[in-house]
């Protein structure tokens, strides 16, 4: 049964209400920025019982972020306590919890409330949650994440397995690992970290590799007490690391991925090749670990321990395709049965879901699922025509790669706030991206996607059903420019039927 909502004052008497969906990195950011901008009327809906998004859900052994911690932090909340250059997942989760508390937004989170329906009706967004709660707001910020819905492989017999079976993003910490024969399916960032962390804790570790990965060597030193003391004393020292890392990642990486002809890509590949040659002693193993596509075509993997781990006496790399799973293990096409106690599916995520399975209905009853039937898209990764006042953070066509998604979300939220403020300042209450602007952007995006490194002939989660990369295919610098100031001519603003909001926030 629906719970009653608070009575709402008439539109003309109130400042706009925002509904933020998701309490992960982007949702926390959205709330903090709303507060700062003077938009105090908002609620954050979160389906789980705590905040943290991907860092709440991914707790597998060895989880770290492969973006340096002083860069993978909010720009306004540097953290002198990071333990390592690449800090572990639990620390990152604790950081988000701490920031949400310190900035006073944690108390605004409504946990255990999955938004199931979100509809634009009579000029307002009305939502309904899994508990039957309803709410209404003027603007929606969908901060629902990208790598969120686990992808389970279509392998015959998975349900027959009698050992413990779980996805890397649903790690079962009750399953004992000491003395266990563990199998891992997949060679993405998750699997590589799991293998490196587990090999010395288990009896045997078998990695089922469908596709080899290029791996860049990185070092992950701990920060010393003296360094942390210096960060506490002089926050500008953290800022310097952040700026330096940001520049290195953007100039040396993000900006070159979008040009498959960039000579820098050759250097990256050379670095990965040298890492393989120098780290793997056995020639046969080395060849089986050697990818047959260009480095950075898939998301580049950074690891300081994988090659060492896979050469341990108790580790095995299986490159024979999986035929099926049986009650005692995995059968490969050569007929071999790999007996296992634990099978981990590090098989990635359904990255085309975004806000779904929530049912989102825009102007005139248009359903987002229908609009996205042939694949999700959004103008500048932010807005979809006919879904006025509905904004996505880290949505479709957003930049992804080996750089900080916090940085990306901060740019996006700054853009959204400018758009909202311009709408209200102009006396309007609705802002809707124009279909022509969206088509123009999408055509340009699709064309540019063809010349990125991601389109050079490998399978990855960056590709859509047609094999075209979906991520932002231009430089990150261009994204920053686009986000710096909305092109208002690409939007229609109006104030149908009800008066505009009385105030334009400063």
Decide whether 206 or 347 has the Cβ nearer to ligand N01: 347
Q: How far is the CB of 112 from ligand N01 (least distance, A)?
A: 26
Query: Among 401, 404, 395, 403, which residue's Cα sits nearest to residue 376?
Result: 395
Q: How far is the CB of 249 from ligand N01 (least distance, A)?
A: 13
Decide whether 191 or 437 has the Cβ nearer to ligand N01: 191
What residues contact 148, with CB distance under 8 A and at least 6 apart?
A: 53, 54, 57, 349, 353
Decide whether 185 or 392 has the Cβ nearer to ligand N01: 185
Q: How far is the CB of 188 from ligand N01 (least distance, A)?
A: 2
Q: How many CB atoms lie within 10 A of CB 148?
A: 17
Q: How far is the CB of 378 from ligand N01 (least distance, A)?
A: 19
**Maximal C-alpha separation, the chain:** 74
Whether 500 and 429 have beta carbons less than 8 Å apart is answered as yes
Distances (CA, A) of 490 to 71, 96, 399, 438: 32, 34, 20, 8
DSSP 360-396: EE-GGG-BHHHHTTT----BTTTB-TT-TTEEESS-T
Decide whether 15 or 59 has the Cβ nearer to ligand N01: 59
Contacting positions for ligand N01 (CB under 6 A): 64-66, 147, 153, 155, 168, 185-191, 193, 210-211, 299, 322, 346-348, 459, 461
Q: Compute the half-sphere exposure of residue 32: CA atoms within 13 Å on the CB side of its CA.
A: 22
Decide whether 189 or 412 has the Cβ nearer to ligand N01: 189
Q: How far is the CB of 413 from ligand N01 (least distance, A)?
A: 21
Angle, in degrees to the nearest 10, between helices 25-36 and 89-102: 20
Q: How far is the CB of 60 from ligand N01 (least distance, A)?
A: 8
Decide whether 230 or 352 has the Cβ nearer to ligand N01: 352
What residues contact 474, with CB distance under 8 A and at least 6 apart?
A: 258, 445, 448
Q: How far is the CB of 353 from ligand N01 (least distance, A)?
A: 14
Location of structure tokens 């969906």: 21
Token duo for residue 484: 């710096």
Decide whether 322 or 384 has the Cβ nearer to ligand N01: 322
Query: Among 441, 372, 375, 381, which residue's Cα sits nearest to residue 405?
Result: 381
Decide whether 217 or 237 has the Cβ nearer to ligand N01: 217
Helix segments in 151-251, DSSP class H: 189-198, 225-233, 235-249
Location of structure tokens 């004393």: 233
Q: How far is the CB of 66 from ligand N01 (least distance, A)?
A: 4
């Amino acid at each position: 049964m629906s719970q009653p909502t608070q009575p709402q004052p008439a539109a003309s008497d109130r400042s706009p209400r925002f509904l933020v969906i998701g309490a992960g990195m982007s949702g926390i950011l959205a709330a903090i920025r709303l507060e700062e901008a003077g938009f105090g009327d908002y609620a954050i809906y979160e389906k789980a019982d705590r905040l943290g998004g991907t860092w709440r859900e991914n707790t597998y052994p060895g989880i770290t972020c492969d973006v340096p911690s002083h860069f993978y932090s909010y720009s306004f909340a540097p953290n002198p306590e990071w333990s390592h250059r690449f800090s572990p997942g639990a620390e990152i989760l604790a950081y988000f919890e701490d920031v949400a508390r310190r900035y006073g937004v944690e108390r605004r989170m409504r946990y255990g409330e999955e938004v199931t329906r979100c509809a634009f009706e009579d000029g307002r967004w009305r939502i309904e949650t899994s508990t039957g709660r309803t709410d209404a707001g003027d603007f929606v910020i969908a901060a629902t994440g990208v790598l969120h819905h686990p992808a389970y492989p279509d392998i015959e017999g998975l349900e027959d397995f009698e050992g413990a079976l779980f996805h890397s993003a649903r790690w079962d910490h009750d399953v004992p690992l000491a003395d266990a024969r563990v199998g891992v399916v997949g060679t993405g960032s998750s699997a590589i970290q799991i293998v490196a962390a587990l090999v010395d804790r288990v009896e045997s570790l078998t990695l089922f590799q469908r596709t080899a990965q290029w791996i860049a060597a990185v070092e992950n030193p701990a920060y010393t007490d003296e360094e942390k003391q210096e960060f506490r004393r002089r926050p500008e020292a953290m800022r310097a690391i952040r700026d330096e890392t940001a520049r290195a990642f953007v100039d040396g990486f993000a900006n070159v991925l979008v040009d498959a002809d960039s000579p820098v890509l050759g250097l990256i590949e050379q670095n990965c090749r040298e890492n393989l040659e120098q780290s793997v002693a056995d020639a046969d193993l080395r060849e089986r670990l050697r990818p047959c596509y260009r480095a950075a075509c898939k998301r580049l993997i950074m690891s300081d321990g994988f090659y060492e781990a896979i050469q341990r006496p108790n580790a095995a790399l299986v490159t024979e395709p999986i035929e099926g799973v049986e009650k005692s293990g995995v059968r490969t096409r050569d007929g071999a049965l790999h007996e296992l106690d634990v099978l981990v599916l590090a098989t990635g995520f359904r990255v085309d879901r975004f806000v779904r399975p929530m049912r989102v209905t825009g102007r005139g009853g248009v359903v987002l699922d229908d609009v996205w039937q042939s694949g999700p898209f959004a103008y500048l990764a932010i807005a979809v025509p006919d879904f006025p006042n509905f904004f996505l953070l880290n949505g479709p066509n957003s930049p992804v790669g080996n750089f900080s998604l916090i940085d990306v979300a901060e740019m996006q939220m700054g853009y959204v706030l400018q758009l909202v403020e311009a709408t209200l300042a102009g006396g309007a209450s609705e802002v809707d991206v124009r279909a022509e602007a969206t088509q123009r952007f999408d055509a340009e995006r699709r064309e540019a996607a063809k010349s990125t490194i991601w389109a050079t002939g490998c399978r990855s989660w960056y590709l859509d059903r047609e094999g075209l990369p979906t991520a932002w295919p231009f430089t990150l610098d261009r994204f920053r420019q686009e986000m710096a100031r909305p092109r208002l001519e690409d939007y229609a603003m109006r104030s149908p039927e009800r008066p505009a909001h009385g105030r334009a926030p400063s």
